[in-house]
C-alpha cells in the first residue's frame, strides 16, 4: 500500500545521462520510467519536474558570453527536451503521460494549467512539467516546489546523485554524516545543498515534506512512495 497518494518527483537532467554525462542513457531512463510506471499502477498520482543539466547548465555553461536571463531561458528549453524524451519512453512502456509547459512552445506540450494538471493526475496520467517556473532566476528545484504546492502533492521526491542529506559534502569531507530526518530550518541555517533556499522556503511554507534519496537504483522511487525509510526526510 502506497504511503503517498500524489507526489511530485524532481529528477536532475544529469541523472538521465548517467555515466554518459550529456544527452541520454536510455537504458537508465527506461529503468526510471519503469519504476514510476509501477507507482502509477498502484494508483499513485505522479507529477515530474526534470532539470536540464544534461544539455545546459545556465550561466555556468554561458562562460561569460550569455547573460543570465537568456541562459535561464535556454535551460527552460533543455527541460522541455527532457520532458519530451521521457514522455515518449513512458508511452513506449504503455504508461499514459503528458507534457505541460510553463511557457508557450507550440507543438511541445500543453500550456500548464493547475486545474487541468490535477484532472490529468486524477485520471492516472503522469504529468511532466516542462519549462521550469517559466521565469528566469528560478531553478527547477523551485519549479518542483511550486508545482508540488499547486497540485497539492503529499510530498516532493528529490531523486539525486547522493543518497540523502549530509552535514557536509561527503566527497570532500570524510567526517560528513547523513541525516535520517532534518528540519527545513536546519537545512536553511546550515546552508545544506538540498534544494536552493527559495525552493526550501516554499516547501516549508506549504508543509511539503521533501524526501531526498539516490536515483542510482531507480527502484528507490517505489520504496519511497511505499514509505520505506531510505534517504533523508526534510520536514
Mean pLDDT of 195-202: 92
Confidence of residue 161 (pLDDT cuts 50, 70, 90): confident
Q: Cα torsion at 194, 200, 203, 205 (round to 10°)?
A: 150
Distance (Å, rounded) from C-alpha 9 to C-alpha 16?
14
Confidence of residue 95 (pLDDT cuts 50, 70, 90): very high
Name 165's Cβ contacts closer than 8 Å, sequence gap at least 6. Answer: 178, 179, 182, 187, 192, 194, 212, 232, 234
* Residue 3: predicted pLDDT: 94
Q: Within 13 Å, how many C-alpha atoms sit on residue 45's CB side?
A: 16
DSSP 151: T
> Quick one: which H or E segment has residue 33?
helix 26-41
Distance (Å, rounded) from C-alpha 61 to C-alpha 72?
11
* Residue 20: predicted pLDDT: 86
- If you count them, how many residues does the chain have? 235
* Residue 174: predicted pLDDT: 87
Distance (Å, rounded) from C-alpha 221 to C-alpha 38?
10
* Per-residue pLDDT reduced to its tens digit, 163-194: 999 998 888 898 999 999 999 999 999 888 78
Name 222's Cβ contacts closer than 8 Å, sequence gap at least 6. Answer: 35, 38, 39
Q: Decide if pLDDT at 98 tops 90.
A: yes
DSSP 211: E
Burial of 135 (0-12, 13-18, 19+ CB in 10 A): middle
Residue with cell 518542483: 144
* Per-residue pLDDT reduced to its tens digit, 121-158: 999 999 999 999 999 999 999 999 999 999 999 999 99
* Residue 171: predicted pLDDT: 84
Mean pLDDT of 93-120: 96
Beta strands in the chain (DSSP E): 6-11, 45-50, 97-101, 110-111, 126-130, 155-160, 165-166, 178-179, 181-182, 210-214, 232-234
* Residue 166: predicted pLDDT: 93
* Residue 222: predicted pLDDT: 97
Amino acid at each position: 500500500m502506497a504511503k503517498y497518494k500524489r507526489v511530485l518527483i524532481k529528477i536532475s537532467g544529469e541523472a538521465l545521462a548517467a555515466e554518459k554525462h550529456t544527452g541520454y542513457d536510455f537504458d537508465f531512463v527506461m529503468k526510471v520510467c519503469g519504476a514510476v510506471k509501477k507507482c502509477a499502477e498502484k494508483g499513485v498520482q505522479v507529477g515530474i519536474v526534470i532539470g536540464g543539466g544534461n544539455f545546459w547548465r545556465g550561466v555556468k555553461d554561458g562562460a561569460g558570453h550569455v547573460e543570465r536571463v537568456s541562459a535561464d531561458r535556454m535551460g527552460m528549453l533543455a527541460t522541455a527536451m527532457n520532458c519530451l524524451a521521457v514522455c515518449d519512453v513512458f508511452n513506449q512502456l504503455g504508461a499514459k503521460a503528458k507534457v505541460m509547459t510553463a511557457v508557450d512552445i507550440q507543438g511541445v506540450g500543453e500550456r500548464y494549467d493547475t486545474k487541468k494538471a490535477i484532472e490529468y493526475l486524477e485520471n492516472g496520467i503522469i504529468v511532466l512539467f516542462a519549462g521550469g517556473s517559466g521565469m528566469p532566476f528560478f531553478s527547477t528545484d523551485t519549479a518542483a516546489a511550486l508545482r508540488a504546492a499547486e497540485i497539492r502533492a503529499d510530498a516532493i521526491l528529490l531523486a539525486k546523485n547522493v543518497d540523502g542529506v549530509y552535514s557536509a559534502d561527503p566527497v570532500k569531507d570524510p567526517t560528513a554524516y547523513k541525516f535520517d530526518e532534518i528540519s527545513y530550518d536546519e537545512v536553511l541555517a546550515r546552508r545544506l545543498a538540498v534544494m536552493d533556499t527559495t525552493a526550501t522556503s516554499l516547501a516549508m511554507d506549504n508543509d511539503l515534506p521533501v524526501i531526498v534519496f539516490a536515483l542510482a537504483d531507480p527502484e528507490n522511487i517505489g520504496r519511497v512512495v511505499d514509505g520505506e525509510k531510505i534517504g533523508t526526510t526534510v520536514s
